[in-house]
Amino acid sequence: MVKSNREIQAGEHWAYREKNGAPVEEVRIIKLGVKRPSQALLAFLDPEQEALEAWRPIQRLVVPWGELDAFLALEATLYAADAISPNLTNGEVSAIAYVVGAADAESCLDTWVGNSRALMRIRDSRLLSVKLGPDAADVPSHPLAFEDREGLVVPWPVVHWILGGLARRFREECLNCAEDCDEDVKEIRFARSDKRGVIQDPSALKFMRELRDTSESLRRWAAD
């Protein structure tokens, strides 16, 4: 999730998080590192911390303390959107990249958003409408879609619809990619099979599964 892009200043109060999923703590920025510009000297304001002062990575500063409630509300929506979205296989993730690339839509869509990698951020809805063509007017809304600082984040039901719309509009390119994946599977099978026709290499078997997932996803979306 996109955090605050505000410049950090000494004296400000920020929300600090030790790691993803950890509780947030209020800190005051004492000073920014000079020799260590990626770090800041922080004063932890929780009474249990007893005014602890410590150098910590700036990337752990989430948002200014006054913006915390709004940030946590967006984060809760993100987690809810993730929860209704599938955990994609590597092959499905590759298929998404193929579809977006075939439509030349990388500049208007961020893929692999969220822990599930199944969410999508629409950076430029106007350009996406151009890519989708006549189907653009039918892009569904969803109660778990939300705006962050860089665009509209949508959950899997909307992502799936967009992928289908792009794959149908650029069907030939997507099906060509699917055929390439099928050919790669055949080549790996020919090169890695033993005399009995069995592939023993686990990495080769894994790669073949990913290629099949990619091919099947592309064909399914292009046909929906």
95-113 pLDDT, tens digit per residue, is 999 999 999 999 999 988 8
What is the DSSP-derived secondary structure letter of residue 78? H
At position 47, the amino acid (one-letter code) is: P
SS3 13: strand
Rounded to two decimals, the pTM is 0.81
DSSP-assigned states of every residue in 85-149: S----HHHHHHHHHHHHHTT-TTTEEEEESTTS-EEEES-HHHHHHHHGGGGGGPPP-TT-EEET
Written as one letter, the residue type at 22 is: A
Average pLDDT, the chain: 91
Q: How many CA atoms lie within 13 A of 153 on its CB side?
A: 24
**Would you say residue 153 has pLDDT above 60?**
yes
Chain-centre distance of CA 72, in angstroms? 18
Check pLDDT > 90 for residue 117.
Answer: no
Q: Which of the four pLDDT bands, split at 50, 70 and 90, describes residue 76?
A: very high
pLDDT band at 10 (very low <50, low <70, confident <90, very high): very high
Tell me phi and psi for residue 130, to 5 degrees: -65, -45
> Where would I find the beta strands (DSSP E) of 24-81?
24-32, 39-44, 53-57, 61-64
| pLDDT top residue among 113 and 16 | 16
CA–CA separation, 116 and 161 (whole Å): 17
Number of other CB atoms surrounding residue 100 within 10 Å: 23
pLDDT at 2 over 60: no
